[in-house]
Structure 1
Amino acid sequence: MVAFGKRLKERQIQEWQGYYINYKLMKKKVNQYAQQIEVGVQDRQHVLKDFSRMLDNQIEKIVLFLLEQQGLLASRLAKLDEQHDALQQQPDISQICYLREAYRAVGHDLLKLLFFVEINAIGLRKILKKFDKRFGSRFTNYYVKTRANHPYSQLQQVFKHVGIGAVVGALSRNLHELQDRQGSYLSIYDQPALRLQDPVIDSIKAAVDRLTHSTNFLNFLAQHALIMQEELPTPVEEQVDDQKYHFMSLLLNLANTFLYMVNTYIVVPTADDYSLSLGAAATVCGVVIGSMAVAQVFSSVYFSAWSNKSYFRPLVFSSIVLFAGNILYALAYDLNSITVLLIGRLFCGLGSARAVNRRYISDCVPLRIRMQASAGFVSASALGMACGPALAGLLQTDFKVYKLTFNQDTLPGWVMAVAWLIYLVWLWFSFKEPLLETEENHMQRESNAEAVENGALEEGLKKPLLISSEDKQQDEDGEQECDESEEASEESRLPVTSIRSAYRLLTPSVKVQLLIYFMLKYVMEILLSESSVITTYYFEWSTSTVAIFLACLGLTVLPVNIIVGNYISNMFEDRQILLAAEIVVCIGILSSFHIIDPYTVPQYVCSGLITFVSAEVLEGVNLALLSRVMSSRLSRGTYNGGLLSTEAGTLARVIADGTITLAGYLGESKLLNVTLLPSLLICVSSILATCYTYNSLY
């Protein structure tokens, strides 16, 4: 297994090697600084000054070469434009073909230049992260703040590739005009909706988007799935073996995701009534809803481990357990047992196979459609979240068959049991188990498929200046600092094997992003789970009205992501959107408090809508940043980044539902304010933590 520095060198364009960041040299300097400080030869101030000067020189070398290459490309384009102008006077088929290929050649060279910039940007972020980790210093915070915001910033040239956009525009326009199917020389500016057909332009656009983190609806939505991608760019992407991909199996995974989310939220409008009918308090609905999340805390771990060996068997087990859980949930009414009700919901939580669904997309879907599959995963979840309450609102009936009661309380259980039985039959006959890799090949893929850490500028503590000897030997990238051969041990490159090992890789930036994810899931769960009790107490809403309200909230997910993905995320940095969304969530919480009488429907609906929508925006940006700042060792294996985020979100839901039940002992009149107070405190804490690590998210 090779270390990052060696892999970085392997991806470099040979003839440009002298112009890349000298990652190996700078890593050695970091080691030398550490030794000099230990023996007292150098002090902290001199080290920071010397390292800053080295970085400035490296960046200047990169930028000057970048400008030189841009000039050469611009010169070639100018000459081709002269030939193009002449061609318009006297069209010639052979000359058109020649010009098209010449423009494509410029496009391929521009693509090489974009890969050059991207690799250097990754190298800069990695060395900054290494320095902070080795010395426990907040150097990245200082360096980015002073360099990136300066009016003559060379750092911005690397990260924003100023000037390349003009070259891309010239190429796009000319290649568009030279398309075979064009009957006239119409400009791309006259037909902005027309999709460019030339593959080189599509490749350039993808590279530019990756470098600037530009996004659209699909990839913004896909960010919610936290499906991690290749860390270092390659001109030709290595795709997952298509033999492992089976469309119907992917569809079954998405159907499992959809049904599980329907199963989660179909009981929300009626959980309080069901609790009352079994002799419990209405606020016990928090435990009823949350018991599913309690079981999911454990099921996420064993399903993640199980997916190392199979995808089919865990999905079959999931369907059987969910079928049984829903039967128990429905029978609890006739058995008059709150215990059976809770056991049924626990069974449903034990059947949560979301870890398998996510893992299948990550491991078995080709790169060319992985973004669409990830977006499908999130869309299925959002649709299930909206359909669950809507379906509950339709199940307003009451009749008996023999001794079994079918009413608004029990029908969610019966309907979901039938749905899981049908799904199980479909799964049994249609799912195709992917070919398992040999252990050796699997280990190789574990090494290659590392998380994108383009934004991973980690922030350490100011003191002590040197970290412990144990951490000094091996950093989160699996590199052994004192190993001059740039080789890392196999053990350091493998995925982590325990929660404890995963926790040791959580840097301050990762912890803050997990806190934010915890916060947004806590706030959303409080809003959704107590909605039935709150609206019944204050507004006397019926079950159908509550169901419509919750369904409308769920239906905002896709439109909001369209707006943010296509527009807002391309106008502002992710860290800016992150902080703004947290502040809006805080405003939504504050506006929800019952302070002035009477508490009105417009106040509740508007505050709930603000909170829910801003939390949805926050989730996409938060998970995008989390994938960048998270260690590459958490990109695969049982204890991966997806599992950690799932556990954080599930734990938030458990605590939120527990808070609702505990607050119920104080009376329904105090339930709203008591449950909102922890939400406000966690939200304010997350805002402060974001401000503390803000510059490390550059």
Structure 2
Amino acid sequence: MVAFGKKLKDRQIQEWQGYYINYKLMKKRVRQYSRQIEVGAQDRRHVLKDFSRMLDNQIEKIVLFVLEQQGVLASRISKLGEWQEALQEQPDLSQISELREAYRAVGQDLLKLLYFVEINAIGLRKILKKFDKRFGYRFTDYYVKTRANHPYSQLQQIFKHVGIGAVVGAISRNLGDLQDRQGSYLSIYDQPPLPLQDPIIDSIKAAVDRLTHSTNFLNFLAQHALIMQDELPAPVEEEAKDQKYHFMSLLLNLVNTFLYMVNTYIIVPTADDYAMSLGAAATVCGVIIGAMAVAQIFSSVYFSAWSNKSYFRPLIFSSIVLLVGNAMYALAYDLDSIAVLLVGRLFCGLGSARAVNRRYISDCVPLKIRMQASAGFVSASALGMACGPALAGLLQFDFKIYKLTFNQDTLPGWVMTLAWLLYLIWLWISFKEPVREVEANGTTEKSNAAGTAGNDELENGVKQPLLISSRNSEEKEGDEDGDQDQEFDDGEETPGESRKPATSLASAYRLLTPSVKVQLLIYFMLKYAMEILVSESSVITTYYFNWSTTAVAIFLFCIGLTVLPVNIIVGSYISNMFEDRQILLASEIMVCIGILLSFHVIIQYTVPQYVISGLIMFVSAEVLEGVNLSLLSRVMSSRLSRGTYNGGLLSTEAGTIARVIADATITLAGYLGDKLLLNVTLLPSLLICIGSIIATIFTYNTLY
């Protein structure tokens, strides 16, 4: 794997090389600082002042060059505008075509400038993280806080592309005016906007969105899948290659995702009744629901490893195990065995192939439609979550065929058994195993398991408390004055080791920096809170409001339906008005408010209180999930973007463990009686949420 310094050099525009951030020089300076502090030649305060000045100079060099190039582009557009005015008086089709090509040429040069800014922004983030890791000092926190919000901030010029928007608008408007409108006088500013059929405009818009983390509904939704793009933008001259993929195989992966989520939530409205019919307490529903998540902790690991070699075989195995598990769940009623029921749910968890579904999209779907496929993955999950309880509400029958009972408790198991049988047949007939590229040594190339982590912002390894000795630096980093092609990012390891994926969950955990740990804590918190709300809904509503199974199913169906509308609002509007870290903190606070409103204190507990607080908690958690995973993808080490033990697996494990603990909490709290169940289960949610808010505040400026 090529190191970041080498990749950065390769992606630079040759004629602009002198204007890029000097990443190699700054790495060298950081190593010199560590030696000087160790021998007492410099104090920490002087180092921070000197490095800040050096960074300011680097940023100023970049910004002044960008402003100069903007002026050149503006001058060219102004001259083209004069040409366009002349053509309006004396139209000439050949000259109009030539003028359009001239505007496109300006657009290409603007695209080069956007890539220039983007690569410098990535390099700047990386050198800040490297400084923090070497000295154990929160320099990024200080630097961003003092520079980002200053009225003369040059840092904002890098991250917010100040002034480039005007150039983008001028090119877009003039190319729009030159399009053949068949006599229409509408412009790009009219509503509804007329589509621009020029690919250069789409490329510019995508580059601007990446630079500012501006987003749209599809992009925001796709972030929930934790499937990211390459850490550095592709060179401007590099054209996207048409990569063939098998649509039916992608569809089968999405259907697998949908069915699994239906399978997870179809039992929620009836799990308490089923437990009581088998002689157990109603709160044992927590164990019944959570058994699936317990098994998923282990299945996520072996399915992630299995997908290194095949997609078809793990999907076949998953379908068979789920078929058997659902049949056991349904048969437990006639066998009068709570053990059979729990084993059936464990089997369902062992059949969780979400790691395979995510991996297939990352590895086998072309980049140009990967965002849509990722959004499809999340949409299928959300739709399954809503349809599961709704389907349970419809299965209100009670009859027998021979010795088998079909009622509201067993029908969810039988329906899912049939669904997985049909899916298994469809899978066997239609799925096409993709051809894997083979490396020179004959081993199968293992593609990115969770997508390549966006921007590769964090160095691998845990941040050191003070600094690393000069002797270790020399031994492990190599000769700092050596050839630039031998650079590597992770100064605590050899070049080869610094790019290797983690080989175990323990080694993956050691790569987590404070920012990543906070994001995983937030993910744990939101999954815990959502699981408490959903899993105990049947018990709580029966105790307080005497709701029927159908009423519980309708409630869960309605909150499940909020997922897509909420993501449309956040992805299309809110995320373009506020920074991700601002939305993150606000969403955490709203989740906390939802939890507080859910407590039963003194006054009578009412349906409006329960429904409104549940909606606030659930909707805020959904918003939080998208932003949280977006930030997680940007602060995670590149070593966690590959192999079996990747960032996607870590986030899945964090969420699954949260669900397991939440379901166990419900069952344990049940021993205190239904009267205390609500408050006892909400208290851990509140404490974890408050803890995540405090942790977010402490790492807020490192999420820049």
Q: TM-score range by the shorter chain?
A: over 0.9
Tell me how far 1:239 sits from its aligned partner.
5.6
**For residues 327-406 of structure 1, what are the structure 2 equivalents within 5 Å?**
327-406=327-406
Segment drifting more, 412-421 vs 464-473: 464-473
Corresponding residue for residue 421 of structure 1: 421
Write out aligned runs for 1:56-71 (5 A): 56-71=56-71
What's the CA shift for 1:46?
1.1
1:131 and 2:131 correspond: yes
Structure 1 314/443 Cα, relative in aligned 2: closer, same or farther at 3 Å?
Answer: closer
Q: Which residue of 2 aligns with 1:214?
A: 214
Q: Does 1:465 align with 2:466?
A: yes
Query: Distance in 2 between the 1:267 and 1:3 partners?
Result: 49
Partner residue in 2 for 1:484? 482
CA distance in 1, matches of 2:615, 2:378: 20
Paired positions, count: 693
Aligned to 1:572: 578
CA distance in 1, matches of 2:699, 2:475: 23
Amino acid at match of 1:17: Q
What is the aligned-residue RMSD (CA, Å)?
2.1
Taking a change above 3 Å as real, the CA distance of residues 110 and 241 of structure 1, as seen in their structure-2 partners, is closer
Residue matched to 1:510: 516
TM superposition score normalised by structure 2: 0.95
Partner in structure 2 of residue 541 of structure 1: 547
Tell me, in whole angstroms, the C-alpha distance in 1 between the residues paired with 2:523 and 2:549: 30
Are 1:193 and 2:190 counterparts? Answer: no
Decide which moves more: 402-411 or 190-199: 190-199
- 1:353-410 C-alpha deviation (Å, 9 max, x unpaired): 0000000000100000000000000000000000000000000010000000000000
Matches within 5 A, 1:305-344: 305-344=305-344
CA distance in 2, matches of 1:191, 1:180: 18
Q: Find the partner of 1:617 among 615, 618, 623.
A: 623
Partner SS state of residue 453, structure 1: helix
Shift of 1:490: 2.8
Match of 2:683 in 1: 677
From 482, 503, 510, give the equivalent of 1:497: 503
Task: Specify the alignment match of 1:586 in structure 2.
Answer: 592
Task: Determine helix, strand or coil for the equivalent of 2:152.
Answer: coil
Q: 1:288/1:355 Cα in 2 relative to 1: closer, same or farther (>3 Å)?
A: same
Distance 1:679 1:448, change over 3 A: closer
Q: Secondary structure at the residue paired with 1:242?
A: coil
Shift of 1:240: 7.5
Query: C-alpha separation between the residues in 2 aligned to 1:390 and 1:200?
Result: 45
Aligned-partner Cα distance in 2 for 1:307–1:473: 39
Is 1:524 the counterpart of 2:526? The answer is: no
Stretch of structure 1 that moved more, 39-48 or 124-133: 39-48
Residues 400 and 406, structure 2, Cα contact 8 Å, conserved in 1: yes
Take 2:458 and 2:212, find their aligned partners in 1: how far apart are those partners?
A: 14
Aligned residue number for residue 174 of structure 1: 174
- Residues 1:504 and 1:459: Cα distance change in structure 2 (over 3 Å): closer
Distance 1:364 1:272 in 2: 41
Against the structure 1 CA distance between its residues 664 and 445, is the aligned structure 2 distance closer, same or farther, given a 3 Å change threshold?
closer
The answer to whether the 8 Å contact 1:516/1:686 transfers is yes
Matches within 5 A, 1:646-661: 646-661=652-667
1:448 Cα shift? 13
Q: CA deviation at 1:469?
A: 8.2
- Between 1:3-12 and 1:515-524, the stretch displaced more is 3-12
In structure 2, relative to structure 1, the CA distance for the partners of 1:375 and 1:665 (3 Å cut) is: same
TM-superposed CA distance for 1:206, in Å, is 0.3
CA offsets 1:481-530 (integer angstroms, 9 cap, x no match):
85833345333212111111111110000000000000000000000000
Q: Is 1:597–2:603 an aligned residue pair?
A: yes
- Aligned ranges for residues 30-45 of structure 1 at < 5 Å? 30-45=30-45
Aligned to 2:613: 607
Does the aligned pair in 1 maintain the 2:461–2:512 contact within 8 Å?
Answer: no
Amino acid at match of 1:466: L
Higher mean C-alpha deviation, range 490-499 or range 171-180: 490-499
Please state whether the residue corresponding to 2:454 is helix, strand or coil: coil
Contact 2:450 2:646 in 1 (8 A): no
Q: Are residues 487 and 448 of structure 1, via their aligned partners in 2, closer, same or farther at CA, if it must alter by over 3 Å?
A: farther
Distance 1:697 1:395 in 2: 47
- What is the TM-score of this pair, normalised by structure 1? 0.96
Q: Within 2, Cα distance between the matches of 1:75 and 1:333? A: 79
Mean CA deviation greater in 35-44 or 608-617: 35-44
Contact 1:257 1:377 in 2 (8 A): yes
Q: CA deviation at 1:203?
A: 0.3
Deviation at 1:190, TM superposition (A): 2.0
Structure 1: gaps of 5 or more residues: none
**For the Cα contact (< 8 Å) 2:73–2:106, is it kept in 1?**
yes
Describe the superposition over 1:251-295 as per-residue Cα deviations: whole angstroms up to 9, x where unpaired: 000000000000000000000000000000000000000000000
| Letter paired with 1:450 | T
> Is 1:641 paired with 2:647?
yes
Alignment of 1:452 with 2:454, yes or no, is yes
1:131-150 equivalence runs, <5 A = 131-150=131-150
Q: Which residue of 2 aligns with 1:29?
A: 29
Q: Would you say the 8 A contact 1:133–1:467 is kept in 2?
A: no
2:287 maps to 287
CA distance in structure 2 between the partners assigned to 1:418 and 1:196 by the alignment: 48
Report what 2:557 is aligned to.
Answer: 551
- 1:155 lines up with 2:131 in the alignment: no
Q: Distance in 1 between matches of 2:80 and 2:551?
A: 65
Equivalent position of 2:699 in the other structure: 693
1:203 aligned counterpart, secondary structure:
helix
Separation of aligned partners in 2, 1:592 and 1:494: 46
Work out which of the residue numbers 635, 638, 662 in structure 2 matches 1:632. 638
What SS does structure 2 have at the residue aligned with 1:432? coil
Query: What does residue 226 of structure 1 align with?
Result: 226
State the 1:436 CA deviation: 1.9
Instruction: Check the 8 A contact 1:253/1:357 in 2, yes or no.
Output: yes
The 10-residue stretch of structure 1 (416-425 or 193-202) with the greater mean CA deviation from structure 2: 193-202
Q: Is the 8 A contact 1:455 1:625 kept in 2?
A: no
Aligned pair in 2 of structure 1 residues 210, 664: CA closer, same or farther (>3 Å)?
A: same
Mapped partners of 2:82, 2:191: distance in 1: 24
Q: Is contact 1:126-1:456 (8 Å) kept?
A: yes
Following TM superposition, by how much is the alpha carbon of 1:460 offset from its aligned partner in structure 2, in angstroms?
8.2
**Amino acid in structure 2 at the alignment position of 1:538:** Y
Distance 1:558 1:8, change over 3 A: same
Aligned letter for 1:452? G
SS in structure 1 opposite 2:482? coil
**Secondary structure at 1:405 match in 2:** strand
Task: Tell me, yes or no, if the aligned pair for 2:437 and 2:445 is still in contact at 8 Å.
Answer: no
* Secondary structure of 1:188's aligned partner: coil
Matches of 2:675 and 2:449 in 1, distance apart? 55
Distance apart, 1:35 and its partner CA: 1.4
2:130 and 2:459 in contact (8 A); partners too: no
Q: Measured at CA, do residues 570 and 343 of structure 1 come closer, stay the same or move farther in structure 2, by a change above 3 Å?
A: same
Counterparts in 2 of 1:355 and 1:236: CA distance versus 1, 3 Å: farther
